[in-house]
Structure formats: C-alpha cells, structure tokens
Amino acid sequence: MRKQAHLLLDTLVLGIIGALGAELFRFLLEIFQTIFFEYIAKYSPPGLASEGKKLIETIGSNGLWLIPLILVIGGLISGFIVYTFAPEAEGHGTDTAVKAFHRKAGEIRKRVTPVKIIASAITIGSGGAAGREGPTALFSAGLGSIYAGILKRSEKERRLLVLIGMAAGLSAIFRSPIGTALFAVEVLYSDMEFETEALIYTMLGSIIAYTINSIFVGWQPLFEIPKNLAAEHFIDYAWYALLGIASGVIGTLLPNVFYYTRDLFKKIPIKNHFKPAIGALGVGVIALAYPQVLGGGYGWIQEAINGQMVISLLFILLFAKMIAFALTVSSGGSGGVFAPTLFVGAMLGSLLAEIFHQPPAAFAVIGMAAVFGSSARVPIATLLMVTEMTGGYNLLVPAALAVIIGFYVQDFLSIALKVKYISLYEDQVERQTNSQAHKMEHIKRALSILKEQKRIDPGTLGNIDLVSLLESNIPINLTNDEQLFIGTLSPKNPCVNTLIIERCFNKESKDWKIVAIIRNNELLFPDPDFRLEKGDEILILSSKEILDEIKKNFEN
C-alpha cells in the first residue's frame, strides 16, 4: 500500500510535468513557425480553430519559392543539434522511448530531452512533414526517466515512470486522455498485448495532464466534425469495412516506405549531420506543387473532414504526404509519425467517401484511425485517440469495425508478402515474452530462489548486469567456485525435446543443475520429467570446468 501511495504521488507530479512540457513544446513550435513561415517565406498554412487559427491558406508575394530554402535551413540546424549532442534523438522519438523500456531499463540520457524538443520544434516549425507525437513522447518519457533518476527509483519503477511521462505528454498535446493512456501501454508490443500493470498509472497521469492543459487551450476536441454523425444503416457498415480493407493495404505500405527510405539515407556517404537537409530539400520540391505536405497538416486534415478537397487532389496527397514524411523523418529529421499518418488516413477516407458518395467527415475520421491503427500496430489506443481528438463518439462502433479489419488485413499482408517492416515502430517487440524487461524479472526471481536454496552471499550477486548476461552469455562467478549461465535453446540444439532426467548437456557428470527455465514469459522450475523445447532460456548452475563443456551446446 505504501508503494502504491508513492507511485500515485509520482503520477500526479508527472501529469503536471507532462502538461507543462507539452505547453513548452507548443510554445517553441509557434516561435519557429513564426520565424520560418511568417517572417521568411511569407506563407501561412490553414490552421485549426481549436488552436486559435483560421482555416485559410495565405501565400505572400514571393509565392512558394522560399519554402525549399526554409526547409533546408531547418534541416541543417536540426541535423547539427541532434548529431552533435544526442544522436538517439533523431527520427520520430517514440521508438527511442519504446527501446528504453525494453532494453535500457527505462534509462534515457538527460541531454536527449532538451535536444529532442528543440530539434523537433525547428524541424516541424520550418515545414518538415512530421508530427508532434514522437517529440512529445520522447520528451515527456525522458522527463519520467530523469525524475526516476533523481529519486533513485528501482529499474522496474523507472520503466513505469517513463510510460506515465509519455502518456501525460501525449494527452496534453492531443487532448486525448483515455486514448494516450492506452497508447503508452499498447505501443510497446506489436501483437495485441498491453503493459496492463502500468495502465492505471498512465490513465491517471493522462487525465491530470489533460485537465491542466485544458486551462491553457480549452476543453474542445482538436478537430471539428458535424454533430450526430453515425452509421444508421446496414450498408453503411459495408462501406466502412471496405475502408478498413483499404486502410490495411496502406498500413502495410507505410512502414516499408518509411524504413526503406531510412535505409537509403544510411547508404549516402556523407556525415549524418547533413542528411536531414537533403530530405528537407526533397520535401521542399514536393511542396512547390503541393504545400499541403508541409508540417503536421492539421488544417488540411480539417479541410478533408469538411469535404473541401477534390478527388484528384486527395489521391495525390495520399501518396505525396507518405513520401514527404519519409523524407523528413527517415533522413534523420526530428519529428513524429502520428500526424502524417493521420493525414494519410484522412485523405484515404475522404477519397473513398467521394468514390462511394458517402459523408466525408465520417470517412476521414475513421480513415485516420484505421490507417494509423494498422500501420503502427496500436488499434485499440488509436480508436480512442482519434475519437477523442474529433469528438466523434457516435462513430465509435463503425470505427472499431474499420480499425479491426485494417489491423488484420495489415497483419495478413505483412505475412503473405513477407514484408521487411511490419510497423512504424521498429523497436516494438511482438509480445511480453520478447521483452528484456520481463525476462529480467523472471531471472531475478530465479536468482532470489537460488540464494535461498544455496545460501549464497547476496553480495556476490549485487552488481550483476543481467541484460549483459542475457546478451553475451557470460557466466557469473559465485562462491564455492560455481558459476551461473543463461543459454537459449536454438531449434537445431540436440537437447531440444529431451527430458531433463536424460541430462543432455553433460551425461557423465552430476555436478550441474538446471535452476529455472523461462518459456513463453513464464518462469518454470523443472522436475525430472520436464521436456526441453526450442526457445527455452535455461539458467544453469555448475562448476567452471563442467560449465565450459555445457556452454558448447549453446554455441551458434
């Protein structure tokens, strides 16, 4: 109960910090947009009424010819800042937070937080085709990591605080308290799993951040849609099912366009500092004909919702934005993938609404949810996020249909076509079984039991780096000339499908013991009739000489 009390206090603090951090990012973004667009390019894209702007595009006397210039300047400045001070701040940011949870015990370098927020504000403020989600996620998750470090919290709690910080920041920036709370626990896994233990805290942190943020921006949703939108006939659901199928196809294409572009930029033989400027130049060239691709494009999304775009433009922007945001973020520019993917989904939905003669608002909103839900492998969170961002609660059921169909179509196509990249978030793991965070908990439990059984001096285990142990298969020295070793059974290992009693690893000696086995995220304690399977992670206790022989079973 005492532990829960201090975590609730932590959540309150991070909710406040997340909201203030989101406001800081919004403030910086406004400054750089004013400098680059209003002062230099004399161009103003349409904006949202909920953010105090007008849904009007303004082109100054210079036309669009200065747009490529401000993009390249922004790319150069952002690239210099990121690759000089914190290279892990490049790209869309959410992946860095996900990686920190799974592989780095929740640790995010302190300098990443300021570098990410400044570089992203410059990238997006100068017209880069990126969104606020990635920078806000990494920035607020970084604040959670810093907070945990200051209070010297445990590894497990630091991971939790990173998720709470992420949820709070996203809630404030997108005005979506429920959806972002789910996003923080769903984005970690690609196969419909959740970090359920953290949900109550991410939910509370999101609500606190949303409430505080509303003091600054009001309580209205981000986008405006007509009231009383709903699916009223059976045939309506058929159209939404078709939208779901189309969203699954686009959701399969998006991650591959994004990451193959990244792979291409990696091969360019110049310093990483200059690559964001090259990507920015490509976006600038596209923007000369289609300025709609600039920035997050929220104003243009609103126009698609309002049905103010012609069918040919919708089709072109569907793919132009896809290319533009890949050029911006995959080149090393700093920004998120959420807003650009919503843009693609809105264009797809509005395009199909024109083709099917359906209401554009409903199709644009549901297209937003279905495309991001499938391409990012976060269907449930996205469904709620888009609903909250638009106020389209009457569309929840048809949106759920389209999102679920899109998710499974994307999953089917990714497997059938054997695509290389299945999600916009590359550092997602398939399920908890594949997360180092959960493996560590199991190994610690096994070591704790071993201490009790063997009466091992706890000091001999005090400084073990368990992550390095798993990754390198380096044995740990204990007292009495014994060692601990962890190995994973590959499919070709001769010990697969053998009983423990058969002592496959070393039949001649009895001076070794299998302490525990991790299988499918479960910690198992074997008996003589326990049969080993491929993928089993085995914790073995033995003398050094015998363990050297046993280790040969795990080579290659």
pLDDT of 254-294, one tens digit each?
999 999 999 999 999 999 999 999 999 999 999 999 999 99
Mean of pLDDT over the chain: 85
Strand partners, 58: 44
Instruction: Decide if pLDDT at 510 tops 50.
Output: yes
Mean pLDDT of 96-106: 83
**What are the structure tokens assigned to 513, written together?**
């013991």
Residue 323 CB contacts under 8 Å (≥ 6 apart), including other chains: 257, 282, 286
Of 338, 364, 356, the residue nearest 176 (C-alpha): 338
Domains and CATH numbers, the chain: 2-416 (1.10.3080.10), 435-554 (3.30.70.1450)
Taking residue 521's Cβ as centre, other Cβ atoms within 10 Å add up to: 15
Taking residue 98's Cβ as centre, other Cβ atoms within 10 Å add up to: 25
Write the pLDDT tens digit of every residue in 161-184: 999 999 999 998 888 999 999 999
Whole-number Å distance between alpha carbons of 554 and 556: 6
Percent of the chain with pLDDT over 90: 47
Q: How confident is the model at residue 464 (pLDDT cuts 50, 70, 90)?
A: very low
Taking residue 506's Cβ as centre, other Cβ atoms within 10 Å add up to: 17
Write the pLDDT tens digit of every residue in 23-50: 899 999 999 999 999 899 999 999 988 8
- Given a contact cutoff of 8 angstroms between Cβ atoms, the answer to whether 405 and 241 are in contact is yes
Cβ density class 290-324: b for 16+ within 10 Å, e for less:
bbbbbbbbbbbbbbbbbeebeeebbbbbbebbbbb
- Given a contact cutoff of 8 angstroms between Cβ atoms, the answer to whether 487 and 474 are in contact is no
More confidently predicted of 314 and 443: 314
Whole-number Å distance between alpha carbons of 130 and 340: 6
More confidently predicted of 192 and 252: 252
Tokens 């992550």 correspond to 467
> Which pLDDT score, from 0 to 100, does residue 474 have?
52
Distances (CA, A) of 162 to 107, 147, 168, 198: 8, 9, 10, 10
Tokens 């000089």 correspond to 84
Query: Could you please report the per-residue DSSP string of 513-545?
Result: EEEEEEETTEEE---TTPBP-TT-EEEEEEEHH
Listed range (81-90, 265-274, 489-498, 515-524) with the worst mean pLDDT = 515-524
Whole-number Å distance between alpha carbons of 540 and 477: 12
> Which pLDDT score, from 0 to 100, does residue 461 have?
42
Quick check: pTM over 0.85? no
Give the angle subtended at the CA of 389 by the CAs of 384 and 391, to the nearest 5°.
85
> Which pLDDT score, from 0 to 100, does residue 341 have?
95
Instruction: Decide if pLDDT at 448 tops 70.
Output: no
Listed range (7-16, 319-328, 442-451, 466-475) with the worst mean pLDDT = 466-475
Residue type, 518: I
